[in-house]
Amino acid sequence: MSAETRKRLHDIIKMTNYKPSDVARSLKSQRSRLIGVIISDISTPFSSALISGISSVFDSAGYVPLFVNCNNNAQKERAFIRDLVSRGVEGLLVNTCSYENPDLIEMECKGLPVVLCDRPVKDYNFNIVTSEVVHPISSLISHLKSQGFSVPYFFTQQLSSSSVRMLRHDAFIDSIEKIYDVADPIEYIRNTRIDKQGITKKYLNEILTQTQGTPAVLGSNTMTTIHLINELSQIGAKIPYDIGVCGPDDWSWGQQLDWAGLILPGITTYVIESDEIGRQSAKLLLDIIRNPQSEKTAVYLKPEIIIRSSTLLKG
Amino acid sequence: MSAETRKRLHDIIKMTNYKPSDVARSLKSQRSRLIGVIISDISTPFSSALISGISSVFDSAGYVPLFVNCNNNAQKERAFIRDLVSRGVEGLLVNTCSYENPDLIEMECKGLPVVLCDRPVKDYNFNIVTSEVVHPISSLISHLKSQGFSVPYFFTQQLSSSSVRMLRHDAFIDSIEKIYDVADPIEYIRNTRIDKQGITKKYLNEILTQTQGTPAVLGSNTMTTIHLINELSQIGAKIPYDIGVCGPDDWSWGQQLDWAGLILPGITTYVIESDEIGRQSAKLLLDIIRNPQSEKTAVYLKPEIIIRSSTLLKG
DNA sequence: TTGTAGGCGTTATCAG
DNA sequence: CTGATAACGCCTACAA
């Protein structure tokens, strides 16, 4: 291109204030540089860290992640999947809120690059980045046993929306069967709700009064665990002397902040690094977009257990 | 349309598995139903709640909010603004990380509907939904005085990226001038960093040893306040007997969870309802899109102060 | 080196 | 009521 033409062009661009339209470009090129990211519930710290990890990867790769929030509504999730695909996204990163997900399976079968974040779905092997479920839970339970707690109780919110919750539930049952040699593990499950007053408190009072030895409780996630601590402090129970408390921590923001250490007496947890799940799943999706023929991949992060005072009966 | 034609059409749609393309539709109709939402730092609980509020409004209005994360990088923010506009968004909701923002001003002048979330920018009246700054801070300081604390110190992270931080800084200075009758208010500002070890602890140790009477500290936001509590607990200072602690709480998830009450001894705060800021700013943007001629609007939420043990020296 | 024609998938318009 | 055609703005390819 001659210098003269270049200048003329440049002038015209200036004059007419020309801005290329990505919409038209997408239509023509069939490439949007857009990635659809479906988040089950964006209002939790788990999602914040997840999203943060995801953005960091796509930003430096020149892709624009579009985040949408299903608010735990499987219906909405289906609609968003269709919407994003019809908007020409080149791939989908899905932190799903529906364990059964035929639409997503269909899309992936048709060749759309899909990676799941954290939560698996039923009957189909997607690419996925998640965290190990069984090992950390059984470690927690071994630890409780070694500290002399009696059989722990598992407090969980409704299982249906989160496959991870179900897996944790199952892992808990297996673990107390093996480690505590319990015959009727289902007896140690407590379905609760955070938004509804009194349910948790009722269960906790029963456990505190009827347990032989020192009881312990395990929250299915950070929200539930904090809720348990809240209720126990209102009841006036002393942790860990009256009752032990522990659970997974899916609220980590890297090392920046440590809620489980701040809330006295310090809560025993294992950390799910959601920012890392975000980063790795985003990278995996990029790999798949670049090389659509690649093998299915499942990555399992290995959480480490952090023992704090809330489960220390002995020394 | 005849029933027969309808059936035929329906069959063809089935047969060819026809899916309309929103990209092409946007190109033709010049309407995308897309809203660009620019978030300064998506990894904070403030942003989670903000996003959650924003999604709820757009979802029920049939718009799709596209969230992008600037990670406190003003450069990235500029790029995203251009990107989203060229992608045909019908409006922009901006939680900006640059106090000076000529690009955004230009867009808005050209008729693009823009609403700011939480953070104002310099020298231009945008539509904005935010929270009152001066009144709650001066109330906190009056409260500290009435409890017998000596002049409080203000701990803040770097001011440049957040206009709200600057405003709080200024409000603090004005307030201690008026309420404590301080001649040199700047002396009571401490610039700190959470990611860098030791700075905060050094300042706190100085304050604890050199203050006449009982000192108090005010964090510029939740992160800083929690950091202060962390460091104080490591130093071994007793709150509020050795030192009072308070600050704004921009981490509220409605009533669901109450960190400030959980962290003993209970922290005095005022709550910034970021989900409400999200909802109201989204609604405002929809109003503007529907009626582009409307007057500029600025909404200021009024936070309420919640007094807890961390600032109660007297009874 | 520069200019022009065709088509991406819609929708709007107009003729049959 | 139905079917054909042009245009949205860009990109590619080919012709001048």
How does pLDDT run across A72-84, given as a tens digit for each residue?
999 999 999 998 9
- Answer yes or no: is pLDDT of B256 > 60: no
- Same fold: A3-131+275-301 with A134-273+304-311: yes
CA atoms within 13 A on the CB side of B51: 34
Contact at CB, B51 and A43, closer than 8 angstroms: yes
Q: What is the pLDDT of residue A251?
A: 81
Cα of A27 to nearest chain B Cα, Å: 6
Chain B CB within 8 Å of residue A79 CB: no
User: Looking at strand C, which nucleotides approach a protein CB closer than 7 A?
Assistant: 1-2, 7-12
| Minimum-distance residue to C9 (CA–C1') | B24
Q: What is the pLDDT of residue A253?
A: 58
Which pTM does this prediction carry?
A: 0.86
Q: What is the mean pLDDT of residues A105-109?
A: 93
Q: What is the pLDDT of residue A2?
A: 78
- Euclidean distance between the first and the last CA atom of chain A, given in angstroms as a whole number: 79
d(CA B274, CA B252): 7
> Given the DSSP bridges, would you call strands B305-306 and B268-271 parallel, antiparallel or unpaired?
antiparallel
Q: Does domain B3-131+275-301 have CATH number 3.40.50.880?
A: no
Pick the more confident residue, A48 or B131.
B131
Q: What is the pLDDT of residue A183?
A: 95
**Which residues, other chains included, contact B261 with Cβ-Cβ below 8 Å and sequence gap of 6+?**
B267, B308
Closest CA in chain B for residue A195? B256
**Could you tell me the residue ranges of all domains in chain B?**
3-131+275-301, 134-273+304-311
Contact at CB, A42 and B55, closer than 8 angstroms: yes
Q: What is the pLDDT of residue A18?
A: 86
- Report domain B134-273+304-311's class: alpha beta
Phi and psi angles of residue B108, each rounded to the nearest 5 degrees, phi first:
-65, -40
Cα dihedral sign, B244-B250-B254-B259: negative
**Which residues, other chains included, contact A100 with Cβ-Cβ below 8 Å and sequence gap of 6+?**
A121, A122, A123
Q: Radius of gyration over alpha carbons of chain A, in Å? A: 24
> Given the DSSP bridges, would you call strands A305-306 and A153-156 parallel, antiparallel or unpaired?
unpaired
Which residues 182-211 of chain A have a CB within 8 Å of chain B?
194-195
B32-85: per-residue pLDDT in tens?
Answer: 999 999 999 988 888 988 999 999 999 889 898 989 899 899 999 999 999 899
Peptide bond into A265 cis (omega under 30): yes
Contact at CB, B230 and A262, closer than 8 angstroms: yes
d(CA A102, CA A82): 12
Are B243 and B232 in contact by the 8 Å Cβ rule? The answer is yes
- Answer yes or no: is pLDDT of B262 > 70: no
pLDDT category of residue A11 using cuts at 50, 70 and 90? confident
Alpha carbon A292 to its chain centroid, in Å, reads 26
Q: Which of A16, A22, A85, A226 is the best substitution to test chain B (most B C-beta atoms within 10 A)?
A: A22
